Chains A and B, each alone.
Chain A
Amino acid sequence: MSREKILAAVKFNQPGANPLPDMEVLNALTDIKTDLISKYKTVATAGGTFVHEVSDFNGIKVILKNDFKPEVKIISALDELSDYIYTDTVKFEDGHSFADVELTILRTNLGVAENGALWLTEKQMGSRVLPFIAQHLAVVIGKDDFVPTMAQAYEVIGDADYGYGSFISGPSKTADIEQSLVIGAHGPRSLSVFILS
């Protein structure tokens, strides 16, 4: 059987023991908790994300009302934004039924200042395809939910049990044609992030 043959060949050929490196020094070097929001805003904006600092959910509603026409299909994972279709009511639907979604609104508890990445699990997405298939994506995050780097992000995630999770750091993009950056490849054409104070 191939499995046994591969494992035997690997075992026979692999070098002698080499320990895993200690990551404490590295992680301590990166654990700088100052100006996380301004660092996040700089990186995220450079990556094409629209960042809004809002004081409450009403602030989010005002911006979304301005950006999206009332007749478009919007799915929201937040109780506080109840004018829209709630993810819990559609999460068992087949992913293909979301093909006409204009905007998906999700809530995260973890953002990374160094690279603009926002951690979203399947539970927070409702359905895995929702943050990808929608024409636009909006994510709500609390002002205290930022960590400096990916090192701290994985400390927060720890041994969490999820079926699927993704770090999303901006709108879908490509530079495959002559290295010209084009926003809106296969996923959302925009990412709006609302930082709740």
Chain B
Amino acid sequence: MSTATDKHHPQLAADFNRDEPRVNWHDETLWWVRAKRDIAAHKLPEWELLRETASQIKLNVLSNLSAYLEQFEANATKNGVIVHWAQDAAEHNQIVYSLLEQRGISKMVKSKSMLTEECHLNEYLKEQGIDVIDSDLGERIVQLANEPPSHIVLPCIHKKKEEIGDIFHEHLGSAKGESDPKILTETARQHLREVFLTRRAALTGVNFAIAETGEFVICTNEGNADMGAHLAEIHIASMGIEKIIPKRKHLGVFLRLLTRSATGQPITTYSSHFSKPQDGSEIHIVIVDNGRSIQLGREEFRNSLKCIRCGACMNTCPVYRKSGGHSYHTAIAGPIGSILAPNLDMKKYADLPFASTLCGSCSNVCPVKIDIHDQLYKWRQVIVKSGYTPTAKSMAMKAMAITLASPTLYRMGGKTGRLVFKYAPFAVNNKFNPWYNQREMPKAPEQSFGEWYAKRKGAKN
């Protein structure tokens, strides 16, 4: 499900901010998840070494990625798994469709895969007449609501339980007005169990793919990936090229970091290692590039490919928490999404690197130590140089540059500003000034530092 919109982050964030209590709830809930992450991280004295080790393993992966991909393919093939390669989203979708079509399958169950969101697989398959049901509870909720996920780990974090109750009443027949999470979850369990038992095809994502063994690992709390995959005759696993890790023992590093960073849990309920297909069934892996190899060549941004999709940078981000995942109008929201998206389409996502205060909290919590806020800052420079900044912003920046370059203009500007604040505050405290949105403008000082200093100097002499 894509966000079909021409609006940019500031407008979409403003839309989200119309409902102030909801924004506050969203903000507090995500901060609570961040706090749980802190408690989990602080329990491990070796946490920082763990992060550093993970970061170095991922750097090694990026340096040897072509060889690791070939090694993974060779070992997976030896295990009886069929490997496909897709250069872009369209090819990925086409491969998935042809696998289904060849077998006369028209219904598929799918567990969480942000890659398939990136590729807009569901919409594509729907056009081909394939019915896809998302089995992760949060994803099923947003799918029924006809919305994309707003968070990579918590897909429906923007929804209140009463709204979910209404959706379930309409689509799954739960009682009108029912909003108890336990009862709603049970309703989804019954509905999806029927789905698991009747689908011949299951698609899953991949958390880690191990070059040394050819196996891949999927992490869930609900058990939905396993229920789908084990009951289907064909299991399709979609993975980006960056999901590779060299050795099985490296899982001992990444599985320790992933959920502690994501939700504060010590590990997911299920960390399932798929090596060979079951008797009578098939496993297909689709390895997808879709712009990743280009990002790999961007020296300043290649570290973004270390990401293990824990969502910690979103939970901690003051902008994400207060603007909501949909305001990023891309499959992967938040700080990490804002450094991945411009690689895919610099013009369309030119707004995203600016949707940050550059406070650095994202980089501090990142389990693989991606320099997220530095990359956001660097993207801004690339975007400005490439001419993709919004016109208002470039005009303002030009005016600012001229003013700062001239002492006379600078002094004049300061004086005018103070006069306006003092005698005509309505000129700035209005809806045409974006800085005034959700803020009171401060009182202007009587004089500038320059004026104060000159006076003081005069008095001393």
Contact = CB atoms under 8 A, between A and B. Distances in A.
Given A18-B59, A20-B246, A23-B253, A172 B222 contact: yes
A163 B248 contact: no
B302 interface: yes
Nearest to A49: B269
Contacts of A81: none
Interface in B236-268: 241, 246, 248-249, 251-253, 255-256, 263, 265-268
| Nearest 5 A/B pairs, CB to CB | A187-B223, A13-B297, A115-B266, A176-B138, A185-B222
B85 A184 contact: no
Interface string B77-115: 000000001110001000000000000000000000000
Contacts of B268: 169
B41 interface: no
A169 B269 contact: yes
B75 to A, nearest CB: 12
B249 to A, nearest CB: 5
A174 B157 CA distance: 13
Interface stretch (A25-33, A56-64, A71-79, A103-111): A25-33
A117 B66 contact: no
Interface size class of A (residues with CB under 8 A): 35 or more
A155 interface: yes
A29 B246 CA distance: 22
B169 interface: no
A173 to B, nearest CB: 5
Contacts of A187: 222-223, 226-227, 269-270
Nearest to B231: A95
A186 B269 contact: no
B135 interface: yes
Interface string A166-197: 11111111111111101011111000000000
Given A10-B293, A150-B251, A186-B135, A163 B63 contact: no
Contacts of A174: 137-138, 185, 221-222
14 contacts: A1-B85, A10-B296, A23-B53, A26-B50, A128-B278, A133-B231, A169-B267, A169-B269, A175-B154, A175-B263, A176-B155, A177-B141, A182-B182, A184-B186
A127 B227 CA distance: 12
Interface centre among B70, B138, B160, B181 (most CB of A within 10 A): B181
Contacts of A26: 46, 49-50, 53, 253
Interface stretch (B188-196, B379-387, B453-461): B188-196
A175 B226 CA distance: 18
Interface size class of B (residues with CB under 8 A): 35 or more
Given A30-B46, A129-B230, A163-B275, 20 more contacts: A14-B62, A17-B63, A18-B62, A21-B60, A23-B253, A26-B49, A29-B45, A29-B49, A43-B266, A115-B267, A150-B267, A152-B252, A163-B278, A169-B269, A169-B270, A173-B221, A176-B136, A177-B161, A185-B185, A185-B222
Interface string A1-23: 11101110111111111111101
B166 to A, nearest CB: 13
B272 interface: yes
Contacts of B62: 14-15, 18
Given A116-B267, A177-B164, A182-B181, A15 B299 contact: yes
